[in-house]
């Protein structure tokens, strides 16, 4: 392999990371829409998310929670985990476009933006973003045109549910 090929691959690899970072930052900065069934919010408003995402919704019932799975018009799948008390304790997403993070994270959005700024300035290379703050966890990753992540409130997880269930 020549030095030129090696440089081209590194440049292409860097471009993919730049695209991912730009997509995440775009989703953060441009999402000035109001929050609906956001993390920590009420389950009754999940229908508003379905309308906002222009998607179809499927509900799966587990022992102590429901999963509202919304297939957005963009192809992104959003899952909202709702406890039997009616609170959204976790959200997860995957697809070719990142979801509206302000909408999904609600009152946790500002904490997320601050943590992203701190981690982005100190991160080296391409790695998934993992934020663990008191009472709030977010994990985001992806490449090219695939974005995935999850966010949850550890203190609101039902007793029989582990964080791994949010996917």
Distance CA 163, CA 7 (A): 40
Helix (H) or strand (E) holding 55: none
What is the per-residue pLDDT for 19?
Answer: 39
What are the E-state strand segments in the chain? 56-61, 65-71, 77-83, 88-95, 129-133, 136-143, 146-152
Q: List, in order, residues 6 or more apart from 45 with CB less than 8 Å away.
A: 36, 37
Q: What is the DSSP letter of 69?
A: E
CA-based nearest residue to 92, from 105, 76, 80:
80
Reading the chain (167 residues) residue by residue, the pLDDT tens digits are 555 554 444 444 444 444 344 344 334 433 433 434 589 988 776 766 666 676 778 899 998 999 999 888 888 899 999 999 999 999 999 998 888 898 889 899 999 999 988 887 766 556 788 999 999 999 998 887 889 999 999 999 999 899 999 99
Polymer length of the chain = 167
What is the per-residue pLDDT for 145?
Answer: 82
Tokens 């919010």 -> residue: 41
Q: What is the DSSP letter of 86?
A: S
What is the per-residue pLDDT for 15?
Answer: 43
What is the per-residue pLDDT for 108?
Answer: 94
Distance CA 135, CA 108 (A): 10
What is the per-residue pLDDT for 104?
Answer: 87
């Amino acid at each position: 392999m020549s030095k030129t090929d090696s440089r081209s691959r590194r440049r292409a690899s860097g471009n993919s990371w730049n695209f991912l970072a730009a997509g995440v930052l775009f989703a953060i900065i441009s999402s000035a829409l109001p929050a609906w069934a956001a993390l920590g919010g009420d389950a009754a408003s999940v229908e508003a998310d379905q309308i906002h995402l222009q998607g179809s919704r499927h509900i799966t019932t587990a022992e102590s929670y429901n999963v509202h799975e919304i297939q957005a018009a963009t192809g992104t799948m959003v899952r909202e985990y709702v406890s039997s008390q009616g609170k959204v304790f976790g959200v997860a997403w995957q697809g070719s476009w990142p979801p509206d993070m302000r909408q999904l994270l609600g009152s946790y959005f500002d904490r997320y933006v601050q943590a992203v700024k701190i981690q982005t300035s100190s991160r080296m290379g391409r790695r998934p973003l993992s934020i663990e703050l008191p009472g709030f966890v977010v994990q985001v990753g992806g490449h090219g045109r695939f974005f995935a992540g999850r966010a949850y409130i550890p203190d609101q997880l039902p007793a029989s549910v582990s964080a791994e269930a949010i996917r």
